[in-house]
Structure 1
Amino acid sequence: MKEENPSSIVGSKSFTAVAINCAAKAGEWVKTKLGTVEQPHLKVSVADLVTEIDRGSERLIRKLISTHFPNHAFLGEEGVEPGAAASSQAIAAAKDAEYLWIVDPIDGTTNFVHGFPFFCVSIALAHKGEVIVGVIYDPISDELFVAEKGKGAYVHGKRLAVSKEQTLEQSLLASGFPADPSYALPLNLQSMVHLAPKVRNIRAAGSAALHLAHLAAGRLTGFWEYNLNSWDLAAGSLILQEAGGTITDIEGSPYQLEVRNVVATNGHIHQELLQELRKSNQ
C-alpha cells in the first residue's frame, strides 16, 4: 500500500506509534542492563565504545520495525563499520530510500558503560531524505521526546518550546569531546576555549541526541559539535525544529542527513554562535 501522506496510518500502526514503541521497549531493556558491562569493545579510539547491549538494542529495534514495515530501509549505528568515512558512505548510500529508519540504539555508550545516567535511544524516520518522525527516549529520567513533521514536538504530552535567551553571553551551551583524536577533538577543544569566556557556561554530558532534546525543551540555548553521524542527529534535528529551534551545518547551511559538523540553537543566538565558531577556527 502506497501512503499518500508520510504521517498516515499504515497497517493500523502509524510511523510515530511504532517509533515510540521501539524506543520505549529498547530503552527499558537497556536500563535493565545498566551496570552489567565488564569489558566494552573499542571502535576508533578509547573514547569510542560499543557493547553487546548496543547491538542487542539495535537488533530489538530492527526486528520490531521490520515486523511493521518490512520494505523500509534501516540504518543503525552498529550495522556500520567504525570511522567517519564508513559513516558518510552509509548515509550517502541510504539517504534516498523512500522510507529510511535511522537508529542509535544507545547514544551515550561511554556514559552507559560507566553508569553515568545520561544516555538515550534515538529513532528517526526519513521520507526521501527528509526527517518526518523523531523520537528520543531517556530511560533514566523516563522522558520520551517525540516530533512529527509539521505537528510540533512533545514530552509526556507537553509541547516543547526553545529557550528565549537573545545573546550568546546569556546562553548555556552544550558540546562534546569527539572520539576522533586527530581532527574533531582538537577542533572542538579550540572552539570551547574560544567560547567559554563569551557564554554563561558550557556543558558536555556525552550524548548529542539528548543535548538536542534538552535544547528543544528550553534547557539549553545552543549546541555544536564536529564529526557527528546521522544517527546522532536525525531524530533530534526534527524535535528541535518542531520546538522552534534552528539547526545547520557549521557554515550555516540547512541541516540535511549528511551533515557531520553541526550547530543547533534556539534560533535567537544562531548567527552569533556561527560567527564565533568561525573565529575560533581561523
Structure 2
Amino acid sequence: MSYEKEKQVAIDAAIAAAKLCQQVRQAIPAAMEKTDKSPVTVADYGSQALICKAIGDMFGDDPIVAEEDAADLSTSEMAPQLAKVTDYVKELVPEATPEAVKSWIDRGNGEVAPRYWTLDPIDGTKGFLRQDQYAVALALVESGQVKVGVLACPAMPLENGECGILYVAVRGEGAFMAPLAGGDLQPIRVADIGDAANLRFVESVESGHGDQSRQSAVAKAVGITADSLRMDSQAKYGAVASGQAVLYLRLPSPKSPNYREKIWDHAAGTIVVEEAGGRITDMHGKPLDFSIGAKFANNQGVVVSNGTIHEKVLEALA
C-alpha cells in the first residue's frame, strides 16, 4: 500500500505547525521558563489545531490521539488565550475562528484504533521555553505498527550553521531529512559502530525523564566513553537516525519506576530510526506496542540504537 498522500499531508501540516511555534517562541522573554508558561499553551494549542484540521480534512475517518484538549480554552478566564491561539492560526488558515480552532484541537481526542494518527504538537516543552530543542511529532499507525512518521525540529542544526530539520519516514521506504526551510529530502542512515567519532549516546536534558546514572553505566558497558549528548524532545531520534549518536536511552526514573511512556512521545521518532537502519525496543527487548492506548501499558523504558549494539545494550540492562 502506498502512503504517499499521508506522507505529504503530514509533511505540510508539520511544517505549518513548526512555523506557528517559531512565531510564538520569538515572543518568549528570557525569564519565561520560570514564570508564566502561556506562550507554550498558545503554541501547543495552535500547533494541534493546524495539524488536526489538516488530517481531519483529508482523512476524516481517522481518529487522532493527541496530547492537548480544548476544554481549558472554553472558560471565560482563558478567552484571551483562545484569542491569541486563533490569531496565530489565522495567519496560516485565514478562515479560522475561536470556535473552529477549539473544534480542530478536539479532533485530537480520538482513541487508538486499527488505523489512527498520534500527535505531540510540541514535544520538549522546556526546550521550547529555553530556546533549545523541541519537535512537532506526527505519526500514522496501522495494525499497531507505525507506517508514517514526520518530525519537524526547528532548532536542530544543519551543517551550514542554520537551524531547522525535517525528518520523514514511511515503512519500507527508508528515512530522510531535509532543511525545514525547504529543500529536497536526502536519505539518512544510522552510524556504524566502527565510526569512533559517533560513539555517543543521547538522553533527555531533564533528569526526571530517565535514570541518568544507569543510562551512563549502560553506555559505558557497550563501549561508549564520551559524555552523553543531552537534548529535549524526539530530536534525539533524529540524532540517532542521522548518525550523530548510536544510542538513545530512556530508562524509568528511580522516583517513578512504574511510569509508562506515552505513544505520541515516541511514534514518529521510532519509524525514522527503524527506517534509517536502527532498532527500538523497551528495556526488556520487547517491541513498543502502539495498539493498546495512549500509554505503553506493556512496555517499560525505551532503548533506541543503531541496531548493531542493541543486544549488548539489552544484556547490560539485564
Determine which of 248, 252, 277 is the counterpart of 1:223: 248
Give the corresponding residue for 1:267.
Answer: 307
Pairwise mapping of residues 152-191 of structure 1 onto structure 2 (< 5 A)? 152-156=174-178, 157-166=185-194, 171-176=199-204, 181=208, 185=210, 188-191=211-214
Shift, 1:189, TM fit: 2.6
- Rate the CA distance shift 1:67–1:263 in 2: closer, same or farther, 3 A: same
SS at match of 1:150: coil
1:16 aligns to 2:38 (yes or no): no
Contact 1:169 1:200 in 2 (8 A): no
Determine which of 96, 114, 131 is the counterpart of 2:146: 131
1:171 and 1:272 map into 2 onto residues whose CA distance is 14
Pairwise mapping of residues 15-34 of structure 1 onto structure 2 (< 5 A)? 15-34=6-25
How much identity, in percent, do the aligned residues show?
28
The one-letter code matched in structure 1 to 2:235 is L
2:17 and 2:275 map into 1 onto residues whose CA distance is 24
1:195 and 1:167 map into 2 onto residues whose CA distance is 19
1:203 aligns to 2:229 (yes or no): yes
2:21 and 2:8 map into 1 onto residues whose CA distance is 20
1:103 aligns to 2:119 (yes or no): yes
1:136 and 1:267 map into 2 onto residues whose CA distance is 21
* TM-score normalized with structure 2 length: 0.70
Contact 1:26 1:61 in 2 (8 A): yes
1:194 and 1:102 map into 2 onto residues whose CA distance is 33
Shift, 1:60, TM fit: 1.4
The one-letter code matched in structure 2 to 1:142 is G
- Rate the CA distance shift 1:170–1:103 in 2: closer, same or farther, 3 A: closer
- Rate the CA distance shift 1:250–1:168 in 2: closer, same or farther, 3 A: farther
1:262 and 1:20 map into 2 onto residues whose CA distance is 26
1:242 aligns to 2:270 (yes or no): no
Shift, 1:169, TM fit: 11
Give the corresponding residue for 1:144.
Answer: 166
- Rate the CA distance shift 1:59–1:66 in 2: closer, same or farther, 3 A: same
Give the greater-gyration-radius structure (CA): 2
The one-letter code matched in structure 2 to 1:189 is Q
SS at match of 1:162: coil
Deviations 1:23-58 (A, max 9, x none): 0000011011114344117xxxxxxx9522112211
2:70 and 2:219 map into 1 onto residues whose CA distance is 34
Between the two proteins, the alignment pairs up a number of residues equal to 243
| Residue ranges of structure 1 left out of the alignment (5+ in a row) | 42-48, 82-92
Higher mean C-alpha deviation, range 191-200 or range 216-225: 191-200
Deviations 1:152-184 (A, max 9, x none): 1111221111000159997201112567x5xx6
The one-letter code matched in structure 1 to 2:6 is F
Deviations 1:159-214 (A, max 9, x none): 111000159997201112567x5xx64xx13313524655232122111x110111
The one-letter code matched in structure 2 to 1:59 is A
* TM-score normalized with structure 1 length: 0.78
Q: Cα RMSD between the aligned structures?
A: 2.7
Give the corresponding residue for 1:77.
Answer: 67
2:70 and 2:216 map into 1 onto residues whose CA distance is 33
- Rate the CA distance shift 1:169–1:275 in 2: closer, same or farther, 3 A: farther
Shift, 1:262, TM fit: 0.5
Shift, 1:119, TM fit: 1.1
SS at match of 2:7: helix
| Residue ranges of structure 2 left out of the alignment (5+ in a row) | 72-109, 156-162, 179-184, 252-259, 291-295
| Runs of 4 or more above 4 Å deviation | 166-170
Contact 2:47 2:121 in 1 (8 A): yes
Contact 1:35 1:113 in 2 (8 A): no
Shift, 1:150, TM fit: 0.5
